Amino acid sequence: MEFEEKTLTKEIIFDGVLVHLEREEVLLPNGKTSIREIIRHPGAVAVMPFTADGKMVLVRQYRKPLERTVVEIPAGKLEKDDTHPLEAAKRELEEETHYSASRWEEIETMYPTPAYLDEKFTIYLAEGLEIVENPLPQDEDEFVEVVLCSYQEALALRESGEICDAKTLYALLYWKLRLLEKEA
C-alpha cells in the first residue's frame, strides 16, 4: 500500500520567530482529501553531558507552555549561522551549563512529534567536561539552574514529574543502557 499524501494547496497561517504554521490540503492514498496543519521548526539539538564521576548535567527551567518548572538535558534550537548541529550543541552546553566537553558523539536523530511538527532533534553525548572560565552568555530570555544528578537522583526527578520531556526521558533510557553495558 502507498502511504504518501500529495499536497494540493498550501497556506501560511502564522510566520513566527521560532515556528511557522502551514495549512495544507492533501490528497490521501484512497483518493479523498484532508487538511493537515503543520508546524515548521528549524531543528534543535540536545546534549547528554556526563561528568568524570558519572553524573549527568541537567538544567532546571520554567516552561511556559507547561506553566511549571522542569528538569531537562541542555538543548536549544539551531540558529541560521550554525553550519552543523554539533556547533549548536557545543554552544548550548556552554551557554546553559558553563561546561565544555572534549569528547562528543552523535547518538540519535529523532522527530519528537511527526504527526504535526517537522522539528528534527540531534542528540549528542558529551564527556570530558570542564568548567568554562568565561562562558558564552545565556540567552537574555533564559533562566536556568544547573543540576548534577546521579542516575538514581534523575529517576527520582522523573518520578516526581520534574523530568517529563521526551528528550530527557530518552537520555534516561540511554543512561540505563550504558549502566547495563558496564555491568555486563
pTM of full prediction above 0.95: no
Give pLDDT, residue 141: 81
Contacts of residue 88, defined as CB under 8 A and 6 or more positions apart, other chains included, come to: 44, 45, 76, 77, 78, 79, 82
Residues designated as active site: 140
pLDDT tens for the chain, 184 residues: list them. 789 999 999 999 999 999 999 999 999 999 999 999 999 999 999 999 999 999 999 999 999 999 999 999 999 999 988 889 999 999 999 999 999 999 999 999 999 999 999 999 999 999 999 999 887 777 788 789 999 999 999 999 999 999 999 999 999 999 999 888 888 7
